[in-house]
Amino acid sequence: MRRPLVVANWKMNGSKQTNSQWLQEFAGLWQGQQNAEVAVCPPAVYLAQLQQALAGQAVLLGAQDVSAAESGAYTGEISAAMLSEFNCRYAIVGHSERREYHAESNAQVAAKFVAAQAQGLVPLLCIGETLAQREAGETLAVVGEQLRAVAKLAGVEAMTRSVIAYEPVWAIGTGLTASPEQAQEVHAFIRQQLGGVAQDVRVLYGGSVKPGSAVELFAQQDIDGALVGGASLNSKDFYDICRAAQ
Ligand code: PEP
């Protein structure tokens, strides 16, 4: 049985004050009595604030990115060991905004994946096609290539210590959610690509998930939860999505 997982990706949003309010509101709603696992990925400068606020709560912490390097002259980077010090369980790697705005290649994403696991973090690997790629019928080829690049470097067995998020780029922050059938088709393909370890890997969907679309998405056989951007900024909306993952 794969435990459902819902992850908030706050991206570059928040402030000490609004984080604190969100945490208070969410803690009042989410008592940890539920079956689903929940994690929050704030901007790195707020990890200490969230680590403190989440102590003893059934909400895990994650980072939005991690360096492929261990330490040294990498200005602006944050290592996996540093993230571990703040009790991070997850580290997002390969988010499409990093692939697009920071030109991260499949090889760099794979190196980040390996660096995260080396420090005991669980990489949350984002893969997904652009609209042009979908319209050209290349969705499965693109997703398969993104997945293979990581499995080749890390080894297939390492995928069991990771979470995969299928995030069609055209659905991220656009309000366009993939239909449950579109998402399920790609999730089933991802699971098939994982071969013998397929049943042990959680595969999340991400892309404009809202409380109203979550239930149907989570009802799909191969969707184990969600990576949520925009809707995670509102504590009640995020709570409703988490509840839908029960
Ligand atoms: C994301 O950034 O991972 C994401 C899914 O964003 P949104 O929910 O806003 O589309």
Residue 185: count of CB within 10 angstroms of its CB:
15
Which DSSP state fits 227? Answer: E
Cβ 91 under 6 angstroms from ligand 1 = no
Query: Residue 15: which residues within 8 A CB-CB, separation 6 or more?
Result: none
Which is the catalytic residue, given 37, 129, 167, 187? 167
How many structural domains comprise the chain?
A: 1
How large is the greatest C-alpha to C-alpha distance in the chain, in angstroms? 48
Segment 129-138 shows an average pLDDT of 97
pLDDT in tens, 185-240: 999 999 999 999 999 999 999 999 999 999 999 999 999 999 999 999 999 999 99
Q: Considering only CA atoms, which residue is closest to atom 4 of ligand 1?
A: 229
Annotation marks residue 102 as catalytic? no
> pLDDT-derived band of residue 33, with 50, 70 and 90 as boundaries?
low
pLDDT in tens, 228-240: 999 999 999 999 9
Residue 74: count of CB within 10 angstroms of its CB:
12
pTM above 0.85, yes or no: yes
SS3 56: coil
Q: Are 64 and 83 in contact (CB under 8 A)?
A: no
What's the chain's average pLDDT?
96
pLDDT at 34 over 80: no
pLDDT at 32 over 80: no
Q: Considering only CA atoms, which residue is closest to atom 3 of ligand 1?
A: 229
pLDDT of residue 120: 98
CA 96, 98, 103 angle in degrees (round to 5)? 105
Q: What is the CATH classification number for the domain harbouring 79?
A: 3.20.20.70
Cβ 227 under 6 angstroms from ligand 1 = yes
pLDDT of residue 1: 81
Residue 205 lies in domain: 5-244
